[in-house]
Amino acid sequence: MPGYIIDLDGTLYAGTKPIAEAAPFIAKLRKSGSPYLFVTNNSSRTPEEVARHLREVAAIPAAAQDVLTSAQAAARYQADTAPGSRVYAIGETGLRQALTEAGLALCTDPGAEPPDAVIQGIDREFSYAKLFAASRAIMNGAAFIATNPDLQLPTEMGLTPGSGSLSAAIRAASGQEPVWIGKPSPIIMNYAVERIGLPREEIWVVGDNLRTDMAGGLAAGCRTAWVQTGVAQGADPEEQMRLTGIRPELILRHLLDWPS
């Protein structure tokens, strides 16, 4: 039986609203015994918080071990590269917890304690002081790791700046490109494939975003299923595929549109 790497926002829920077909789809996977993993570029929430959101918003049974966040992937990448290293974190609870759990030391004053790496995710308290500290550390030799390239986030107020917008500021100030961790990077996708434990060609990547979910799935050598919910809703599929140059294996109106 195949495995599934499943996107969250836009695929299983839209912000604080469930997508109707999501819970029945996950119920079918659970009944069949198919392995699956929820993978998100959101670095602000802990896996426990993501699982709670799935239960409360989408009525989907979920536990922390069912989730892989870009914060966890960034923490693992740095821990594998430089075990026990000192890092300056720009981010929220999800990122800080992931870094600590990976055995990395959080640097609170990068001026006094030069970090080995700057690891940056979404930070809704981002400031000039953090930009200065990060760019100076990077120019002094610290690695620059960014959890994801998402420039904007959909919210109830409309589009708001995403983690990638903060990365752009640090890139401009430091003159250095980051190592990108989240979708479509093969880094997070390879970790997800490892967690599923099946050959890549037996794993479906399911999501609503061509540029992140589908591009990430193709880069990882997995099968791809594009659902027309979330950011894809109302778009002309052929036009979107022409513009992006990305053509998934399956194009679905919704999750229950999966062919028998």
Q: Which residues are catalytic?
A: 7, 9
Show the tokens assigned to 109: 């004053």
DSSP letter (8 states) at residue 233: T
Show the tokens assigned to 217: 């799935």
3-state helix, strand, coil in the chain (%, to 5): 40, 20, 35
The Cα 21–Cα 93 span in angstroms is 30
Q: Which helix (H) or strand (E) holds 226?
A: strand 223-227
Burial of 233 from C-beta contacts in 10 A (0-12 / 13-18 / 19+):
middle
The Cα 34–Cα 54 span in angstroms is 18
Other Cβ atoms closer than 10 A to 168: 15
The Cα 213–Cα 8 span in angstroms is 10
Residue 160 DSSP SS3: strand
Residue-level length of the chain: 260
- Asked if 146 and 164 count as a contact pair (C-beta separation under 8 A), the reply is yes
* Phi and psi angles of residue 218, each rounded to the nearest 5 degrees, phi first: -65, -40
